[in-house]
Structure 1
Amino acid sequence: MGEVRPPDTGPGTAIPPARFVTGSTFRHVVTMGATGSVGLMAIFVVDLLSLLYIARLGDPVLTAAVGFATIVQVFAVSINIGMMIAVGALVSRALGGGDVGQARRLAASSLVLSVAASAAVTALLLPLLTPLLTLIGATAETIPAARTFLWIALPSTLLMALGMGFSGVLRAVGDARRSMNVTLAGAAVTAALDPLLIFGLGLGIEGAAITVVLARLAFAWVGFSGAVRIHRMVARPSPAAVLADAGPILRVALPTVLTNLAPPVASAFLAHVMAGFGTATVAGNAVVDRMVPVAFGGLFALSGAVGPILGQNWGAARFDRMRAALRDATLVTGLYVAAVWLALVLARGPLTALFGLEGAGADLLGFFCFAGGAIWFFNGLLFLGNASFNNLGFPLAASALNWGRATLGTMPPALLGAHLAGPEGAMAGMGIGSALFGVVGLALAFRVVGVLERREAASLGAEAERPVGEPVP
């Protein structure tokens, strides 16, 4: 399509196109996972601080409202995550095969489609906020505050679509530091502005929502600086290129988006179950929802880190390194969860006091601290499986597993657990489903690598048997 290679960006700015096909896979997993964790954890920590500031206003209705608003917002954010995974998978594979021009064009087309999808979802959600909030259990008390938050914050998901897309490009080229800086920028803005707007200017929940918008603006700008201005890994988009690339991109993105919509459905269902136990339980569940990414954000980052490593090595036909990366990622998952689990158990008392939770809300947070490690270890295995499927051409497998966990692995056991043991039983029931789907997901990921290896061997065998001079079909 007339694409040219990017010009020389000068000393210190060029990143080797396929850095993951050599060197220690364990080091690559740890480096990409750790830097990704820093950025994600920074965002999740300041999100938790934002909820803490709202909780400090002394109105549990506002705390619950932010929790419900977050669940609705996650549906829009999930679209962006799916598109980010798609751009990372396609760009990393093109780089692994040595085609920088194709990688740049795919990056540009993916960003255009990502923003368009985010705009469409936002336009769909805004008129439906009241019925959606009611569906997940919000009451007449909490709906007005949740609607206010969402009308301000939800349109900024377009900025997040750009930021996540640029971050996916940076991950694909292996620039862990600049990918981390994208999320750190948003976290820094949130940390600085939240207390100023919520307390200093007395804007309350509106101040928290305005901060979300400004943080996402910083998110997009820093991502643009790294992916476009420094690496020059995003070509100038054109309608012809977007139309030509839409098929390959959407074949990865649509199942990936479908995969990422499953967790919010599970969260919404659990919130609906918790709503039946009163406002205190809803507030406790809102705190747990914000604590999960803070405590286990490293698992999200780890799955994002594994994708480009698998993609580059698939492009280079290094199946041995793909298996090694999965084994190393599983080991890191276990070590990480063990450390976090111990920290949660030791900190359960101070955390309950910090958020001012009492009664059923305090009990739910305490149970999460005791049981969360077991639940999230298996979720981490499922994340690794999904990263493998999404980056290795089997995105429908990720969709099937995630929706299986969100439905069969969440709804029946959560309802049964709630009936037998209240809110804690609902959380435990969801954990049992996670264990089953996590083990299956990781086992299938190793199987996928074997399938791809056999396909490659068959292709090479057919090529070797073809008579010299016979055209390739």
Structure 2
Amino acid sequence: MADQSAKFVEGSTMRHILVMSGTSTVGIMAIFIVDLLDMLFISMLGQAELAAAVGFAGTLTFFATSVSIGTSIAMGALMSKAIGAKNVDYARQIGSSVLVIAFIISAIVTAIMCAYIPELLTAIGAEGRALERAEAYLWILLPSTPLIALGMASGAGLRAAGDAKRSMWATLAGGIVNAILDPIFIFGFNWNVEGAAAASVVARFAVFYFSFAPLLRVHKLLAKPTYSNVISDARVMLAIAIPAIITNTATPIGNAIVTTAIAQYGEDFVAGFAVIGRLTPVCFAFIFALSGAVGPIVGQNYGAVRIDRVEETLKNSLIVTTIYTLVVCALLYLLQQPIINMFSLTGDASLIVAAFATYVAITFVFNGVLFVANTSFNN
């Protein structure tokens, strides 16, 4: 059994932030780079409506995944606090309960979305061939969402135990599987958007296995769930999960509103916006990772009543966020034309990507501050 001592209550908080964020970034970037490759491969087919279809579908899958992120935040917050307070038995109990509840919540959300796929796509502006292709993509990918909910929550459990490396390898495994299967399914089997979706489903199985197995076998941080424990733990878990879900789904809902507004200007704009949607998480993966990485550090120190270290962690997180965002925005501005060329974007599609790289990206410094604040409140 792995050592379950609270690793973050001593040593440099800046070092903990950089190590945890760095390893999380590698894993997150693997997933988002594959999403970007999906878009690149689909763009190579030379049909704007296919790229637009993946963009429309991505808006809905982003919403479903954001619900899973919300439940994984609860896992990280509760487990890290229990480990910090040296209450390993409760950490095991809450870990199992959160997995059960995360699966149930994701299954309900997924079932509702599957029942209304055409209506949801129409609501965000999809029509014609783009709507038909997006529907085909979603019918393959959406049903696997509860699996990724379990994978994300297990990964949060690994980070709560201070095992950022195994959490990274889980998402990295998913990225590698997806990157290998994408060209085989899309071009080799000639499955087009269905191929991209099928590759993502197999990748989700890999993420689940490589995050759940070490949490169970290496750290032994899961007890056998019981009905009474799940019911009693639901209240404390949902107190964190529900606000976290609402917070995390605000972004995809905002994206859906923007996609709907953009759709009326034509598929070129939607295709350009879809590229931005895939580019943003790759460029700002560190910012996304930071919120998941800072949580266990804050949680363990809060559980150990080391408020001075909680404050120090927050201050250092904001410094890291600001410096990182400024560097990435400078690179985006300088490399905007090669990016536009790489995705074969022309006209309106290239215009919207250039506008993002020049004017919009810099505002991510505020997203970074928001993510750090949210994760601190959750923990």
Name the residue aligned to 1:279: 267
The superposition leaves residues 254-297 of structure 1 with CA deviations (integer Å, 9 ceiling, x where unpaired) of: 11111111111111111112112211111100000000000111
- Tell me whether 1:53 sits opposite 2:41 in the alignment: yes
Name the residue aligned to 2:375: 387
Name the residue aligned to 1:66: 54
Name the residue aligned to 1:259: 247
TM alignment of 1:296-307, pairs within 5 A = 296-307=284-295
Once residues 225 and 109 of structure 1 are traced to their aligned partners in structure 2, the CA distance between those partners, rounded to angstroms, is 16
Name the residue aligned to 2:73: 85
Specify the code of the residue in structure 2 equivalent to 1:379.
N
Specify the code of the residue in structure 1 equivalent to 2:180.
A
Name the residue aligned to 1:120: 108
Once residues 75 and 351 of structure 1 are traced to their aligned partners in structure 2, the CA distance between those partners, rounded to angstroms, is 26
The superposition leaves residues 353-405 of structure 1 with CA deviations (integer Å, 9 ceiling, x where unpaired) of: 111111111011111111243111111111111111111xxxxxxxxxxxxxx
The superposition leaves residues 170-217 of structure 1 with CA deviations (integer Å, 9 ceiling, x where unpaired) of: 010111101111110110101110001100111111110101110000
Specify the code of the residue in structure 1 equivalent to 2:233.
D
- Tell me whether 1:165 sits opposite 2:149 in the alignment: no
Q: After TM superposition, give the deviation of residue 140 of structure 1 in Å.
A: 2.3
Once residues 262 and 354 of structure 1 are traced to their aligned partners in structure 2, the CA distance between those partners, rounded to angstroms, is 30
Q: Is the 8 A contact 1:15 1:174 kept in 2?
A: no
Once residues 190 and 354 of structure 1 are traced to their aligned partners in structure 2, the CA distance between those partners, rounded to angstroms, is 20
Once residues 57 and 35 of structure 2 are traced to their aligned partners in structure 1, the CA distance between those partners, rounded to angstroms, is 13
Name the residue aligned to 1:291: 279
Name the residue aligned to 1:36: 24
SS at match of 2:284: helix
Work out which of the residue numbers 219, 223, 232 in structure 1 matches 2:207. Answer: 219
Name the residue aligned to 1:312: 300
Name the residue aligned to 1:26: 14
The superposition leaves residues 22-66 of structure 1 with CA deviations (integer Å, 9 ceiling, x where unpaired) of: 110000000000100000011101110011101111110000000
TM-score (normalizing by structure 1): 0.79
Specify the code of the residue in structure 2 equivalent to 1:191.
A
- Tell me whether 1:196 sits opposite 2:184 in the alignment: yes
Work out which of the residue numbers 301, 317, 321 in structure 1 matches 2:309. Answer: 321
SS at match of 1:142: helix
Once residues 46 and 302 of structure 1 are traced to their aligned partners in structure 2, the CA distance between those partners, rounded to angstroms, is 20
Q: Is the 8 A contact 1:67 1:286 kept in 2?
A: yes
Once residues 193 and 294 of structure 1 are traced to their aligned partners in structure 2, the CA distance between those partners, rounded to angstroms, is 20
Q: Is the 8 A contact 2:4 2:88 kept in 1?
A: no
The superposition leaves residues 272-325 of structure 1 with CA deviations (integer Å, 9 ceiling, x where unpaired) of: 121122111111000000000001111010011111111111111111111110
Once residues 367 and 245 of structure 2 are traced to their aligned partners in structure 1, the CA distance between those partners, rounded to angstroms, is 18
Runs of 4+ in 1 over 2 A off after TM superposition: none
Q: Is the 8 A contact 2:4 2:219 kept in 1?
A: no
SS at match of 2:112: helix
- Tell me whether 1:183 sits opposite 2:192 in the alignment: no
Once residues 100 and 5 of structure 2 are traced to their aligned partners in structure 1, the CA distance between those partners, rounded to angstroms, is 23
Q: Is the 8 A contact 2:42 2:51 kept in 1?
A: yes
Q: Is the 8 A contact 1:15 1:175 kept in 2?
A: no
Q: Is the 8 A contact 2:340 2:353 kept in 1?
A: yes
Once residues 109 and 242 of structure 1 are traced to their aligned partners in structure 2, the CA distance between those partners, rounded to angstroms, is 5
Specify the code of the residue in structure 2 equivalent to 1:203.
W
Q: Is the 8 A contact 1:66 1:149 kept in 2?
A: yes
Unmatched 5+ stretches in structure 2: none
Which deviates further from its counterpart, 112-121 or 367-376? 367-376
Once residues 15 and 369 of structure 1 are traced to their aligned partners in structure 2, the CA distance between those partners, rounded to angstroms, is 45
Q: Is the 8 A contact 1:105 1:234 kept in 2?
A: yes
Q: After TM superposition, give the deviation of residue 15 of structure 1 in Å.
A: 3.2
Q: After TM superposition, give the deviation of residue 153 of structure 1 in Å.
A: 0.2
Once residues 200 and 380 of structure 1 are traced to their aligned partners in structure 2, the CA distance between those partners, rounded to angstroms, is 40
Q: Is the 8 A contact 1:338 1:373 kept in 2?
A: no
The superposition leaves residues 390-423 of structure 1 with CA deviations (integer Å, 9 ceiling, x where unpaired) of: 11xxxxxxxxxxxxxxxxxxxxxxxxxxxxxxxx
Name the residue aligned to 2:124: 136
SS at match of 2:258: helix
TM-score (normalizing by structure 2): 0.98
- Tell me whether 1:233 sits opposite 2:221 in the alignment: yes
The Cα RMSD (Å) is 1.0
Q: After TM superposition, give the deviation of residue 137 of structure 1 in Å.
A: 1.3
- Tell me whether 1:333 sits opposite 2:309 in the alignment: no
Specify the code of the residue in structure 2 equivalent to 1:333.
T
Once residues 83 and 226 of structure 2 are traced to their aligned partners in structure 1, the CA distance between those partners, rounded to angstroms, is 21
Once residues 203 and 137 of structure 1 are traced to their aligned partners in structure 2, the CA distance between those partners, rounded to angstroms, is 24
Once residues 15 and 361 of structure 1 are traced to their aligned partners in structure 2, the CA distance between those partners, rounded to angstroms, is 52
SS at match of 2:260: helix
Specify the code of the residue in structure 2 equivalent to 1:356.
S
Once residues 105 and 291 of structure 2 are traced to their aligned partners in structure 1, the CA distance between those partners, rounded to angstroms, is 23
Q: Is the 8 A contact 1:163 1:220 kept in 2?
A: yes
Q: Is the 8 A contact 2:148 2:207 kept in 1?
A: yes
